Each structure stands twice: as structure tokens, then as C-alpha cells.
Structure 1
Amino acid sequence: MRKIIVSLMALAGLLLALPGAALATEYGTQKVVYHINGGDPQQNKGALRNIQNHINAVGADNMDIKVVMHGAGLNLLVNAKDDADLRAGVDNLKMQNVSFQVCRNTVVGRNLDISKDLYDATEADIIPSGVAHLSYLQAQGYTYVKP
């Protein structure tokens, strides 16, 4: 009996030591849309840090995160082509199943080539309208966050 209690206590200690593990049950599962429409590289890096901090607190397995970019927000992926920190931030979040969604209206309006001008973007990442998609996701129960 004592071995079982010691084992359970060790397991509890391990769970509390894991990042976000103690809070994950408190916060439950979350669906979140992050809205990026500013083009400042430092602001974009800050937004990526906000998203990672959110994942750390809740746990990647408890999150469904979408990043919707339109207007100057596409600069996040434009600048990532030449900015190793932005690339690393995008790659890290994608490995945690964060979805980056790009406004077709902005792509067309800015005459951007998806595969040449945007870091790691494909046709599957394109949404018809950034603002319409934000509204749609909120109607689907996603919490809106504007970093």
C-alpha cells in the first residue's frame, strides 16, 4: 500500500513539474483565434511569444489555435523569409499545431506570390477574407485575441 501511495505522489509531482500541466485542467480546452494585422516585426515577434505563452499555460493538447493575418499582418510571413527569429517562431508554433491563415484579399491586393513571398505558406493556408474569417471563427466558439 505504501508503494502505491509513494508512486502516486511521485506521479503527481511529475505532472506538476511539467510546463502548463498544473494549469491545463484549470483552463480546460480552448479554441482561440489570434488576429494579426500589424506589420511591425517586433510586434509580430511579440505576438508569437504571446501565443507560445498561451500554449505553455494551457498545454498544446488542450488548444486549437488559429492565427489569422490580413493587411500589414502578412508582413509576419513576408519578413520571416529573411528573419531567422520570425521563421523559428512560426516553425515552433506550427509544430504545436498552430494554424496560420492568410487573407486572399490581401495577397491579391498586394500582388504577392504565396510560395515566393510568404514564408512556409501554401494554397491550403489561404482564406477568402481575413475579417470575414475572424467573424466566422468567433461564431464557431473561438475566443478572439488581438496581441
Structure 2
Amino acid sequence: MRKILGMIAVGVMALWAAAALAQDGLADHKLALQISDNNPQKMNTVLNVAANVTRYYESQGETVEVRIVAFNAGLHMLREDTSPVLERLGAFGASMPNVTFAACGNTIAGMTKKEGKEPPIVKIAEHVPAGVVDLMTLNEAGWTVIRP
């Protein structure tokens, strides 16, 4: 009886692991892009890389998931009031559902303290506790992390 229960437990664990991998592995490729500078040229470069990588893999019949993580001064990219690429962000939200954006909670807290109010972040951005930790977690999960 113990052997049977042990075999069932191992089988259930194997199925659970396979399901988790299948769910996590929906995209053929996974790219995380870092933006940590308040520099319009670098922000546009990050968006260009996301668009170019997406077009390339789509032309190959493959899928790619791209996550742009903004922290430190790079958070200005995702601010509704200071983003030099605000119009492009709207276009990405509408035309590239494979590209997601993450806004660093630590940076938001720092800006809130300095400015006396929370900075307005674009609606398409997900708030994460810490941008660097988000990048580390993605890297540990097999994502390619690039700082253009």
C-alpha cells in the first residue's frame, strides 16, 4: 500500500511540475529589458529593441515575451507626467501584447517621498516591489536580461 501511495504521490508531483513548466513556457523566448536612466534616447532604444525582437521572432513563426523593467531614474519612462516616450507606450499597449512593463515600487516610494505625492504611472505598467529583484527573478527563471 505504501508503495502505491508513494507512486501516486510521485506521479502527482510529476504532473504538477509538467503543468507548471507548460504554463511558464508559453513563449518560445523570454527577454527582460532594463531601463534605469532618465534618457530619452535609451528609452527609445529599449522600445526599439522590444519591437525589433518581437518582429524577428514573429517572422520566424516563434513567440517572444518581452518585459521592460523601469527603476531608478528610468521610471520616468513610465510616468504619465514626465515620460518622453508616452505616445509610444500607448502604441505598444495597443499593438504588442507580448510586451509588458514593470514599475519599481522602491523607486515610486522614493519619488513619492521627494515630491510629496505619488507619481502617476501609466496604466499599462505593473507595479512590482523592486525592479532589480524583478530582473533577478526573471533571470533565475531563464529569461535573458539585457540593458540596452
The answer to whether the superposition gives a TM-score over 0.5 is yes
1:50 matched residue in structure 2: 49
**Aligned-pair Cα RMSD in Å:** 2.3
Equivalent AA in structure 2 for residue 131 of structure 1: V
Of Structure 1 and Structure 2, the greater helix share is in 1
Count how many residue pairs are aligned between Structure 1 and Structure 2: 114
Q: Which secondary structure does the structure 1 equivalent of 2:85 belong to?
A: helix
Structure 2 unmatched runs, 5+ = 1-26
Q: Deviations over 1:65-114 (max 9, x none)?
A: 11111001101122x5466x712321232231211001100000111525
Counterparts of 1:88 and 1:142 in 2: how far apart (Å)?
A: 27
TM-score (norm 2): 0.68
Change (3 A) 1:121 1:64: closer
2:108 matched residue in structure 1: 107
Aligned ranges 1:20-99 → 2 under 5 Å: 29-59=28-58, 62-78=63-79, 81=81, 86-95=85-94, 96-97=96-97, 98-99=99-100
- Mapped contact 1:71–1:106 kept (Cα < 8 A): yes
Equivalent AA in structure 2 for residue 138 of structure 1: N
Q: Which secondary structure does the structure 1 equivalent of 2:101 belong to?
A: strand
Structure 1 unmatched runs, 5+ = 1-27
Distance apart, 1:58 and its partner CA: 0.9
Change (3 A) 1:38 1:82: closer
Determine which of 95, 120, 126 is the counterpart of 2:123. 120
Change (3 A) 1:82 1:72: closer
TM-score (norm 1): 0.68
- Mapped contact 1:38–1:72 kept (Cα < 8 A): yes
Distance apart, 1:121 and its partner CA: 4.8
Q: Alignment identity in percent? A: 22
- Mapped contact 1:81–1:119 kept (Cα < 8 A): no
Counterparts of 1:94 and 1:63 in 2: how far apart (Å)?
A: 16
